[in-house]
Structure 1
Amino acid sequence: MAAAISSANWAFVAARRGRRQWPLSCNLSSSTPNTRRLILYSKPGCCLCDGLKEKLQAAFSLSGPDSLNDVTLQVRDITTNPEWEKAYQYEIPVLAKENSDGKEEILPRLSPRLSVELIQKKLLAAFS
């Protein structure tokens, strides 16, 4: 359940009880070759999660040779899945990348004090 916004290639996903909740990023097509995937575990009302989402949105909107336009971000509401809630209830926001084998790898926590440019560089480094 997503609706694309063409200006920034952002979409919104219905994460909880059929309502649209959180932004998720670019390139929703699963058939796009060389698409890199990030997963953000979050929940409604989490100010740290909201802050990270804003920083990620800004990092995804940066252009240039180091842009993240081939990265897809999926935001997962942990309150919709008991396994996610048990695993991440005290850790959110949790950012993970999906490896080529489909397994998730948890990334180091990004400080909300980091600049958008530094977040972009850290995300690029995570895929290197």
Structure 2
Amino acid sequence: MGIVAIATTTTTTTALITPSSMAFLSRQRPKWAIFTPLASSFSTQTNPTRKLVLYSKPGCCLCDGLKEKLQSAFALQGPNALNDVQLQIRDISTNPDWERAYQYEIPVLAKVLSDGTEEILPRLSPRLGVELIQKKIAAALGEE
């Protein structure tokens, strides 16, 4: 069971997206969204310990492909489960600094370190399987 919560202001639309509602993200095109896989209880997922940021933009087929793979990877269980990971998706076209930094590099996946800084992760090949993507992300989040 998933929960979707939307908060809108004059400058930003925020969405809490579950794996089953990821399609919502591509239709509404919020400036940034938070994707958190939810277990059966919402309270167990309100304070994720691991965080990722995906820099993307509308119309980017590589970005859309990675979002789909991430959705599937977040839904997988097992030793590399990403249930406690919060993924924030940022539309670079809404921020000139992000656009300058990532316009030729998207999709860019970064992990948020404990001090709040971001570390860019190596690019994930679109040819990788979902299980391998899950394993690579889990390994990257385990390092700090």
Same fold judged by TM-score > 0.5? yes
Q: Which TM-score band (shorter chain)?
A: 0.7 to 0.9
Provide the residue aligned with 2:29 in structure 1: 21
More strand by share: 1
Are 1:68 and 2:78 an aligned pair? no
Provide the residue aligned with 2:132 in structure 1: 118
2-structure distance, mates of 1:49, 1:56: 10
Letter in 1 for 2:15: A
Q: Which has the higher contact order (CA 8 A, sep 6+)?
A: 1
> Kindly tell me: are residues 11 and 113 of structure 1, through their superposed partners in 2, closer, same or farther at Cα, counting changes over 3 Å?
closer
Letter in 1 for 2:35: S
TM-score (norm 1): 0.82
2-structure distance, mates of 1:119, 1:24: 19
Q: How far apart are 1:87 and its partner, in Å?
A: 0.3
> Kindly tell me: are residues 85 and 104 of structure 1, through their superposed partners in 2, closer, same or farther at Cα, counting changes over 3 Å?
same
More helix by share: 2
**Paired residues for 1:70-109 under 5 Å:** 70-109=84-123
The runs of 4+ residues in structure 1 deviating greater than 6 Å are 11-15
SS of residue in 1 equivalent to 2:86: strand
CA RMSD of aligned residues (A): 2.8
Q: How far apart are 1:20 and its partner, in Å?
A: 2.4
Letter in 1 for 2:36: C
In structure 1, the gaps of 5 or more residues are none
Q: How far apart are 1:26 and its partner, in Å?
A: 1.1
In structure 2, the gaps of 5 or more residues are 1-13
Contact 2:35–2:87 (8 Å) recurs in 1:
yes
TM-score (norm 2): 0.73
Letter in 2 for 1:74: Q
